[in-house]
Amino acid sequence: MPTRPAPIPFDPSFEVAEEDEEKSILELIETLRSISEKTYADSGHALRSVHAKSHGIINAELRVLEDLPEALAQGLFAQPGSYPVVMRLSTTPGDVLDDNVSTPRGLALKVVGVNGPRLPGSEGDVSQDFVLVNGPTFNAPGIKGFLKNLKLLARTTDVAEGLKKGLSFALRGIESVIEKAGGKSATLIALGGHPETHILGETFYSQAPLLYGRYVAKLLVAPVSSGLVALKNAAIDMTDRPDALRAAVSEHFASSGAEWELRVQLLTNRDTMPIEDASIPWPEDESPYLPVARIIASAQPTFSEKSNDASDHALAFSPWQGLAAHRPLGSIMRARKASYEMSRRFRAEHSSAIPAELEVRAEVED
């Protein structure tokens, strides 16, 4: 078997603040808040600033694999064991759109009941969250670039839905031309150019790195059960079906379970695997994603208006809710701390369902 380069232990010098980072983060928070304020004024509901629409909440079990080598047996994955996990599927915009405005997809995981020293601000929590999107890289290298994209998105928050549908249809056309020419436009996809495919066939990535115990890693969740693998790139008819993704997830889980693998990619080369630029994929030929856990779900109801009110709005995920051993790293990750806190606070202040860890614990224990 070829020997791979050893993972590089983390050193604080790996993180370098962006120029004017604090100022950009404040502007980012202001822009995110303006999105939630607009959707609240329009709908009377306090929604997440991004990833507002939920396509299903799945209760599952995370099983840490046995006999992991030292480099992979870190943090939450240091010991074999099993934990309840709550999973929320979403799409990226801050407003709740018909699914034929097709956008990137998110998967947030809350692994409940983990032990160990916690991240600052998360001392009272009980979970380890992983907050993922269905592409290997982020749409901008750092905070300034993301702020530019977000401002463009924020300007579309109030645009009439009919217009967005037209825009989305046109963008999918343009996107497929760009893809045929060998490129992919993250901005066009974010505005509605994502292919109309089944959300359960997706692989979800952390995109940005996190501490992995002594080391540094990126992380993904990939479908492995045959029922899920068959849904990869499976087309979904979204014509006149505003909640087609929600229906597709419910339909799958009405009769079947699902199994995913959680894999990590260890940082082994500081030149090709940057921490401060989340738009660069780490080469998988240098360091492949390796399995550390399985996530197993049984057949179950995944969405109802009642459960949406009771649990979706009460749930709050953040990469900064978790163990110190999995501290998020790099500028995009640093910007997420105060951003998620703001969005969670906005939802708590404007809604009767308070996003809190305690509610999750109660749900899981029921």
Return residues touching ligand HEM (CB under 6 A).
Answer: 28, 32, 48-51, 88, 90, 106, 108, 131-133, 138, 143, 146, 205-208, 316-317, 332, 335-336, 339-340, 343-344, 347
Q: Which of 32, 184, 64 is nearest to 128 (CA)?
A: 64
Nearer to ligand HEM, 68 or 344 (CB): 344
Shortest approach of ligand HEM to residue 121 CB, angstroms?
Answer: 14
Shortest approach of ligand HEM to residue 205 CB, angstroms?
Answer: 6
Nearer to ligand HEM, 170 or 186 (CB): 186
**What residue number has its CB nearest to ligand HEM?**
106
Which amino acid is it at 19?
E
Distance spanning both ends of the chain, measured CA to CA: 47
Cβ pair 3, 68 in contact under 8 A: no
Nearer to ligand HEM, 170 or 354 (CB): 354
Distance of CA 312 to the CA centre of its chain: 15
Strands (E), 15-104: 53-64, 81-91
Shortest approach of ligand HEM to residue 199 CB, angstroms?
Answer: 12
The set of residues, in sequence order, having a beta carbon less than 8 Å from that of 100 and lying 6+ positions away, is: 165, 168, 169, 196, 238, 239, 241, 242, 244
| Three-state SS at 138 | coil
Q: How far apart (Å, rounded) are the C-alpha atoms in residues 264 and 292?
A: 7
Give the pairing type, strands 81-91 and 258-266: unpaired
Shortest approach of ligand HEM to residue 113 CB, angstroms?
Answer: 19
Shortest approach of ligand HEM to residue 343 CB, angstroms?
Answer: 3
| Three-state SS at 212 | strand
Distance of CA 280 to the CA centre of its chain: 17
List the structure tokens of 129: 């969250």
Nearer to ligand HEM, 208 or 329 (CB): 208
Helices in the chain by DSSP H: which ranges? 21-43, 143-155, 161-180, 186-190, 226-229, 244-255, 305-307, 331-349, 357-365
Nearer to ligand HEM, 81 or 281 (CB): 281
Shortest approach of ligand HEM to residue 180 CB, angstroms?
Answer: 26
Shortest approach of ligand HEM to residue 130 CB, angstroms?
Answer: 9
Shortest approach of ligand HEM to residue 6 CB, angstroms?
Answer: 26
Cβ pair 277, 242 in contact under 8 A: no
Angle in degrees, 0-180, between the axes of helices 21-43 and 331-349, rounded to the nearest 10:
30
Nearer to ligand HEM, 265 or 339 (CB): 339
DSSP 44: S
Nearer to ligand HEM, 28 or 231 (CB): 28
Q: Find where tokens 């029922």 sit.
A: 227
Cβ pair 150, 339 in contact under 8 A: no
Q: How far apart (Å, rounded) are the C-alpha atoms in residues 211 and 232?
A: 30
Nearer to ligand HEM, 68 or 198 (CB): 198
Nearer to ligand HEM, 88 or 246 (CB): 88
Shortest approach of ligand HEM to residue 353 CB, angstroms?
Answer: 12
